[in-house]
């Protein structure tokens, strides 16, 4: 899919219904409405949405605390997968904080999510550790870090 008319912006409460639908399409244990509201109200959190022709195609949620970024959630609507949206959201998150001397970015990813792991590796993330049986279904989480 060739995406030309896109816009990345901060999410608002009016986006939550669409974010919840994408979340439910992407994850077996999706975030709740309340969890998204908490992140929108959290002073260290940012939620960015990626719009294509006015339609939300993906989002990223991350925290920034004293030079460290923690990526909490990154999702692309199934309709828009494999079109570079997740990569562009990562790049935008990094770009927004490059002037703040970002020292590291941390995230957790399901050990079986090979597409996400490959994306993160392309952006310089390295395996830092494993959280055994981290997810509700017993799957391990890989802890990955990118140092600046």
Same domain, 30 and 98: yes
Q: What is the CATH number of the domain that holds 27?
A: 3.40.630.30
Contact 106, 98 (CB under 8 A): no
Nearest to 13 by CA among 52, 44, 47: 47
Residue 102 — very low, low, confident or very high, per pLDDT cuts 50/70/90? confident
Same domain, 17 and 76: yes
At 49 the pLDDT is 98
Same domain, 96 and 113: no
pLDDT-above-90 percentage for the chain: 87
The alpha-carbon radius of gyration of the chain (Å, integer) is: 15
Q: What is the pLDDT of residues 33-43, one digit of tens each?
A: 999 999 999 99
- Residue 57 makes CB contacts below 8 A (sequence gap 6+) with 3, 6, 50, 51, 76, 77, 79, 80, 83, 85
């Amino acid at each position: 899919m060739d995406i030309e008319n896109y816009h990345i912006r901060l999410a608002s409460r009016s986006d939550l219904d669409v974010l919840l639908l994408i979340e439910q399409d992407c994850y077996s244990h999706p975030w709740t409405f309340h969890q998204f509201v908490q992140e929108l109200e959290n002073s260290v959190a940012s939620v960015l949405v990626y719009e294509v022709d006015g339609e939300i195609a993906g989002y990223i949620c991350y925290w920034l605390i004293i030079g460290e970024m923690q990526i909490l959630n990154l999702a692309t609507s199934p309709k828009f997968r494999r079109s570079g949206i997740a990569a562009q959201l990562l790049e935008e998150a990094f770009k927004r904080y490059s002037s703040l001397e970002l020292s590291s970015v941390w995230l957790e990813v399901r050990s079986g999510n090979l597409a996400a792991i490959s994306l993160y590796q392309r952006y310089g993330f390295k395996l830092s550790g494993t959280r055994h049986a981290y997810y509700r279904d017993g799957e391990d989480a890989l802890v990955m870090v990118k140092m600046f």
